[in-house]
């Protein structure tokens, strides 16, 4: 009887982690042919739909990365430099800061109204402690400073926040298994 009870308790404790790990729905999941590391990524829209910003979460082996697809009205000429801070403000005065892993020059496009749109695609490594913060505290602002311009998004839908937190929780559960 003790063996059956012990087995049941062990399964009850482990099942939530397995369920979360299986629920991770990556957009891309493949194996790097050279390093043999598993490469995974997931992209989420963030902020108002009109901003068209995207948040990318990536895992390569045991390393984790955040990336952004930033679109900004007007023609910004300042590149995002290697080491540039990109800051995620979270509820409870918490922050997740990642550093741009290289220089990112601005790209330009013209929208259907003839307006110039500047786009950037910065990316940087984060650690598990930062993932835990993202899993436990909703994002309320993402920003970076370029010269005299602050580029930011500070309006997130509940659905966007929930998707990010659930996915980060899933990544953490997967890393425990």
For the cut 60, the answer to whether the pLDDT of residue 52 exceeds it is yes
pLDDT tens, position by position, 95-126: 999 999 999 999 999 989 999 999 999 999 99
More confident residue, 8 or 112: 112
| Phi, psi (deg, nearest 5) at residue 164 | -65, -50
d(CA 68, CA 171): 18
Instruction: Return the pLDDT at 12.
Output: 43
Q: What is the CA radius of gyration of the chain?
A: 19
| Paired strand residues for 118 | 72, 108
Tokens coding 137: 């505290």
User: Could you tell me the pTM of the whole model?
Assistant: 0.81
- Average pLDDT of span 57-86: 94
Q: Are 153 and 51 in contact (CB under 8 A)?
A: yes
CATH tag for 2-176 (out of 1.10.8, 1.10.10, 2.40.30, 2.60.40): 2.60.40
pLDDT tens, position by position, 10-26: 444 444 434 444 568 99
* Close Cβ partners of 95 (under 8 Å, ≥ 6 residues apart): 87, 88, 89, 133
- Average pLDDT of span 43-72: 94
Q: CA angle, 96 as apex, 94 and 99 as ends, to 5°?
A: 150
Instruction: Return the pLDDT at 9.
Output: 41
Handedness of CA 12, 18, 19, 21 (dihedral sign): positive
Given the DSSP bridges, would you call strands 123-126 and 94-99 parallel, antiparallel or unpaired?
Answer: unpaired
Torsion of CA 18, 20, 25, 28, to 10 degrees: -60
Kindly list the domain boundaries of the chain, sorted by start residue: 2-176
Instruction: Return the pLDDT at 23.
Output: 61
For the cut 70, the answer to whether the pLDDT of residue 156 exceeds it is yes
Q: Are 134 and 169 in contact (CB under 8 A)?
A: no
Angle of helix 2-23 relative to helix 158-176, nearest 10 degrees? 130
């Amino acid at each position: 009887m003790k063996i059956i009870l012990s087995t049941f308790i062990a399964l009850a404790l482990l099942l939530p982690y397995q369920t979360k790990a299986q629920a991770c729905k990556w957009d891309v999941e493949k194996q790097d042919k050279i390093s043999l590391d598993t490469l995974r990524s997931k992209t989420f829209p963030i902020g108002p739909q009109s901003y068209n910003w995207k948040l990318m979460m990536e895992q390569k082996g045991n390393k984790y990365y955040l990336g952004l697809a930033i679109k900004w009205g007007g023609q910004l000429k300042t590149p995002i430099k290697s080491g540039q801070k990109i800051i995620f403000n979270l509820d409870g005065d918490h922050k997740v800061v990642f550093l741009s892993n290289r220089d990112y020059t601005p790209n330009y496009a013209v929208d259907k109204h003839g307006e110039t749109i500047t786009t950037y695609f910065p990316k940087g490594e984060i650690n598990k402690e930062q993932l835990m913060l993202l899993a436990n505290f909703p994002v309320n602002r993402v920003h970076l400073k370029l010269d005299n311009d602050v580029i930011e998004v500070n309006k997130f839908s509940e659905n966007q926040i929930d998707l990010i937190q659930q996915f980060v929780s899933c990544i953490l559960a997967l890393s425990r298994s």
